[in-house]
Structure 1
Amino acid sequence: MAIVGADVWRYDGDRVLVGGAPTRVMRLSCQAAELIRNDRVEASDPASARLMARLVDAGIAHPEPASLPAISPDLVTVVVPVYGRPDELGRLLDGLAGMRVVVVDDGTPARDARALHEVVARGGAQLLRLDENVGPASARNRGLAAVTTPFVAFVDSDVTLTPDDVERMLRHFGDPALAVVGPRVAGIPRRGTWIERYENARSSVDLGRRPALVRPRSPVSWLSSTCLVARTEALAGGFTDGMRVAEDVDLVWRLTEAGWRVRYDPAVTVAHQHRARVRPWFARKLFYGTGAARLAARHPDAIPPAILRPWSAAVVALLLCARWWSVPAALAVTLATAWRLARRLRAGEGARTLPLRLAGGGVLAALTQTTALALRHWWPVAAVAAVVSRRARWIIGTMAVVDAVVEHRRLHADLDLVRFAVARRLDDLAYGTGVWWGCLRRGDFRALRIELTPSRRPRAARAGVRHGGEPPTPARR
């Protein structure tokens, strides 16, 4: 069984569905639309199985794990890379009692290793000791080499996880094309320091409350290696050896490029111990940013921080002029785009507002990306502009305030607006600095580029109930 996503737009009596990854317009035949009941489609015959496969592959619908066959947790090995932190590891192993666990000690200094190894022995886990610190990616690969089960879970030591969580994620592997599934990674619910409370509301590894098919250039474009469950066969060599940052993004993108599916299931939520002090938190955010340059070298088509259509770039440019004619001119471009979309889509009686909604969504996405560029990736450029231009100061200041207010309200953060806004700007400052530092070190600035993609017909697909055919399977590596 699969469930149509809550973020999918429905028109014409649910015969037109708009959503997925990337966004597309899917028109259903009358027979196909009748197979979707209460936003659910069940593979009860070849026709419904084919429809469900199309919807799932498009990212418009998502599997309901409870309806899939159970897979025994005995078929999974948990690999935990660790450097010190015996208390956190002990808590994790207590939660995984009875499961097969391999702990990879990534070169913990001898003075601290004894306590760590005692925790491993007490938890009944297998210990692999590395003589030097090789980083989490290589440490996970050493653990992966010891795995003999068809599934493997990679879990960081500062996570709280149970066998029930693992069992629910394993159900997704009833899909033979699925390589990796990841849960939602949320903070431990407690009133800690103000920076920890900000992280609990807007952590880099918390990818939200909606399930998603994970693909580059989509709303959920990566998964965090904080907690992942994977098909061992799909991983081949595992993570890229030597990568100390962004190794999880690289893995996910390599798998999707090879034709595998990767899925995010926030119905499973694991607790993660976020950093609670400003200095280590800021340093970690900066460190994350340094990975962008290496990702740009390995996946140049997936990395741009902003992807705009020429028409939406024109709207943004008009609004940034901040003249009396800016809003009318931007509105005219948006309405012209909606008119062109209406001609291309030939929207029926029940979907007349769809082109206008698509155009409006394009403007909102372009403004959101522009704000992120100014405050995050391109903040040094924005800072120089603010120094030399009064208009730039007004525009950037407005962006900073609006962004903080919108995010604070959207996330219902357990933190007052002023401190949330300060943390938000520090977050952007740290990550953006890391991006620039990584680009300067490599002499490669592709991680900072804006991509203008030609306007074209929106992705469209028709789904009927023809019999025969199999769902797509990945190209094996």
Structure 2
Amino acid sequence: MTGLPIGFGIRLSDSVRVGGRAQVLTGGSPLRVLFPGAAARDLLATGGFSVSDGPSAELAEKLLAFGMADPAAASLAAPADKAVTFVVPVRDRPDHLRRLLQSIGPGQRVVVVDDASLSPQPIADAASAYAAEYVPLAVNAGPAAARNAGLARVRTPYVAFVDSDMVLDPGTVPALLRHFADPGVALVAPRILGWNPGNDAGWICRYEDSRSSLDLGRRPALVHPRGTVSWLPAACLVGRVEALGGGFSAELRVAEDVDLVWNLVREGKRVRYDASVAARHEHRRELVPWLARKMFYGTGAHELSRRHGSNVAPAVLAPWSVAFLLALLAQRRWSLPVAAALAAATALRLARRLRRSPKPLRLASVLVGQGVLAALGQGSALLLRHWWPLTAVGCLFSGRLRRAALLAGMVDAAVEYRRTGAELDPVRFAVARRLDDLAYGAGVWLGAVRGHSAGALLPEITGLRTTRRRRRP
């Protein structure tokens, strides 16, 4: 048997396509096609099941590992009371800290790590007012080191890292703790939504409310590099202390959360995102600080590339999808027929590998259609986000590139506006969307220039023999 306890419940993820009578399962990240046996089909007849014996535990373990099922967290047993310690890194902002500590509530173990505040006394007073342990650092070491200083003082099985500009609901952390009924889970995070205490949030804040860098979407997910959710923000994380070791890489001041997640995954531990649980973050409201933060995030791509290689690639494309995008970018009379022929040939080739499916060609066509949409999305991101300086220069000389960039920008803004349901007019949403991409992309390029490496800018073409090596720090 696996480590999953008896009674552990799972349900197929919403993104999984079920063909026939559960004869074919398609989904996960990376995309997989499974052909369950008769016993597995019986277990999956209602879309989920609870572990009752060895075979059911093995099936549950496989589906969880493939990202094709999610824990039925509400039905899982919660850890005992007082099993978690809250670690709050802070530098100044005592009002934010008081608000967070009030939301955590009384009777909790809380460690406030003061990362060399310019005015430490208000921070110490806030910690004392809410019976939190106050740990001052003599030198500003950054949020990763501050969290590690707090982690070293944790004596409970679980730790909740929460930034001072967050606000928690009473049920946020208890709900996340249920995931640790799976002994393979090391880290879990909630969905992070906006906190707007004022009446007028402003257009930047309303954009962030709909498409914040910290909001990872409406669907739960297994977190791993290149997954639909590939990282978790350190603004709110709950972890199993014994699985975290020394914690974050203390030398990192950006992308330390991505680095931690990827290190845990590389060690074989599970990391989960639970979109059904929410925490609140006060987003930036002013244009310049907002752009500066986006750019700061982008600078972390270089260090991630140095540590984790092609996991940080801005696009991962199959050879056929590269040819598909190049045919469209050429904008010739033959472009659409050639692109259609590439997709059709790929579907036919894939159908031969899916002969066990009741309708192999139909399934292959659906999968190729998803691949086409993914390729278009990644191609658009390269033009508008990661490679925008090259796009800007190219547009000075190429009408085709200008048309491609204009169309990509319009379609991207329209799709995201509809997907997010932003409480903002389409024009300002489109402007904010482009500024978001420009700032992040500028940060990626700045990090690449400083680090003398283009690793974070290089896409990966799957199926090629040459691979970029991952170097350990």
Is the structural similarity TM-score above 0.5? yes
Percentage identity across aligned positions?
51
Cα distance per residue 1:254-275 (max 9 Å; x no partner): 0000110000001110011000
CA distance in 1, matches of 2:213, 2:260: 17
Report the counterpart of residue 169 of structure 1 in structure 2: 176
* Deviates most, 341-350 or 89-98: 341-350
* Deviates most, 442-451 or 343-352: 343-352
DSSP 3-state at the match of 2:70: strand
For residue 84 of structure 2, the aligned residue among 67, 76, 79 is 76
Q: Where do 1:167-246 residues align within 5 Å?
A: 167-188=174-195, 191-246=200-255
Does 2:97 correspond to 1:89?
A: yes
Q: Where do 1:51-450 residues align within 5 Å?
A: 51-97=59-105, 98-109=107-118, 112-188=119-195, 191-450=200-459
Cα distance per residue 1:444-463 (max 9 Å; x no partner): 1100001111189xxxxxxx
Matched residue type, 2:134: L
Matched residue type, 1:385: G
Report the counterpart of residue 54 of structure 2 in structure 1: 46
Contact 2:314 2:457 in 1 (8 A): yes
CA displacement at 1:191 relative to structure 2? 4.6
Does 2:20 correspond to 1:12?
A: yes
CA distance in 1, matches of 2:243, 2:169: 24
CA displacement at 1:164 relative to structure 2? 2.1
User: Which aligned segments of 4 or more residues in structure 1 are displaced greater than 4 angstroms?
Assistant: none
Contact 1:73 1:163 in 2 (8 A): no
DSSP 3-state at the match of 1:95: helix
For residue 42 of structure 2, the aligned residue among 34, 59, 71 is 34
Contact 2:23 2:357 in 1 (8 A): no
CA displacement at 1:163 relative to structure 2? 4.4
Does 2:41 correspond to 1:21?
A: no
Matched residue type, 1:229: V
* Deviates most, 10-19 or 222-231: 10-19
Matched residue type, 1:226: A
Does 2:10 correspond to 1:2?
A: yes
CA distance in 2, matches of 1:405, 1:87: 38
Contact 1:82 1:104 in 2 (8 A): yes
Contact 2:11 2:71 in 1 (8 A): yes
Matched residue type, 2:432: A
DSSP 3-state at the match of 1:184: strand
CA displacement at 1:350 relative to structure 2? 4.4
Cα distance per residue 1:150-208 (max 9 Å; x no partner): 11110001111144211111111111111100100111256501000000000001000
CA displacement at 1:31 relative to structure 2? 2.1
Contact 2:310 2:460 in 1 (8 A): no
CA distance in 1, matches of 2:359, 2:325: 30
CA distance in 1, matches of 2:257, 2:289: 21
CA displacement at 1:347 relative to structure 2? 4.4
CA distance in 2, matches of 1:135, 1:159: 18
Contact 1:73 1:99 in 2 (8 A): no
Structure 2 unpaired stretches of 5+ = 1-8, 466-473
CA distance in 2, matches of 1:318, 1:241: 46
Structure 1 unpaired stretches of 5+ = 457-477
TM-score normalized by structure 1? 0.93
CA distance in 1, matches of 2:464, 2:418: 33
CA distance in 2, matches of 1:191, 1:374: 34
Report the counterpart of residue 470 of structure 1 in structure 2: none
TM-score normalized by structure 2? 0.94
CA displacement at 1:120 relative to structure 2? 0.9
Distance of aligned partners of 1:18 and 1:289 in 2 relative to their CA distance in 1, 3 Å threshold: same
CA distance in 1, matches of 2:390, 2:117: 41
DSSP 3-state at the match of 1:245: coil
Distance of aligned partners of 1:218 and 1:169 in 2 relative to their CA distance in 1, 3 Å threshold: same
CA distance in 1, matches of 2:81, 2:275: 19
DSSP 3-state at the match of 2:232: coil
CA distance in 2, matches of 1:348, 1:159: 48
Contact 1:73 1:167 in 2 (8 A): no
Matched residue type, 2:259: D
Contact 1:308 1:453 in 2 (8 A): yes
Matched residue type, 1:249: V
* Deviates most, 247-256 or 360-369: 360-369
CA distance in 1, matches of 2:21, 2:251: 52
DSSP 3-state at the match of 2:272: strand
Contact 1:12 1:350 in 2 (8 A): no
Report the counterpart of residue 467 of structure 1 in structure 2: none
CA distance in 2, matches of 1:36, 1:71: 28
Contact 1:191 1:197 in 2 (8 A): no
DSSP 3-state at the match of 1:225: coil
DSSP 3-state at the match of 2:309: coil
CA displacement at 1:26 relative to structure 2? 1.0
CA distance in 2, matches of 1:274, 1:214: 24
CA distance in 2, matches of 1:229, 1:415: 32
